[in-house]
Amino acid sequence: MELKEVRDLAIAAIVLAFVFVYKGYDHLDITLNLLPFGLVAVSLSFIFHEMAHRYFARKYEHHAEFQIWPIGLAIAIGLALITDGAFVFAAPGAVMIFQRADLWGNVKYMSRKQLGIVGISGSVVNMILAVGFTIAALATGWTLLYTGTFINVWLALFNMIPIGILDGYKVFHWDKRIWAGFFSLCIASLILALIFLTPYL
């Protein structure tokens, strides 16, 4: 991994950590107290999400690297400030895939299935991490870990929205049944998280 990619991942993770734990101008003390944990939880959740995309894209023999999206960073910070942290825009960057070409210059394009698998892989990792954070919270009694549960469920759901810049678009155009099933799981998980975990967030 090149230094530029590490830098971009670090910047994106720091911004996401802030927007996830920001509780509004009147609660800066809470935000500051949560920020260290947020940095750990978001870094783990976000970086694993992006590395899943990177892994599968490279598995299909294409070059892939994470790049920050400055406009996305600005939108994330702006919406967090405007909504007092009520809405998190979780698209500060993305793994960019560069299609492979052979010695003759013929481009080997990824199939819809390959793009769909690359797209859904990040959110699958987030759902697995959400389960892990929940189990850890139940086992240790450290309720702050539920914040990690919520972060991962939201990252999974947000990225499965089927619009062009998000992973859900690729999954939707690969297999609508898989997209619908997984998106429904993400929605149900978020509803349960809001019902049962809100007191701990």
Catalytic residues: 50
Query: Can you list the alpha helix ranges (DSSP code H) found in 60-111?
Result: 70-82
Question: Cα(172)–Cα(168) distance, rounded to whole angstroms?
Answer: 6
Q: Dihedrals φ, ψ of 63, to 5°?
A: -75, 135
Which token pair is 39? 């940095």
Work out whether the CA dihedral 43, 49, 50, 51 comes out positive or negative: positive
Tokens 């793994």 correspond to 95
The rounded Cα 167 to chain-centroid distance in angstroms is 10
Contact 53, 118 (CB under 8 A): yes
Which token pair is 96? 């960019």
- First-last CA distance in the chain: 34
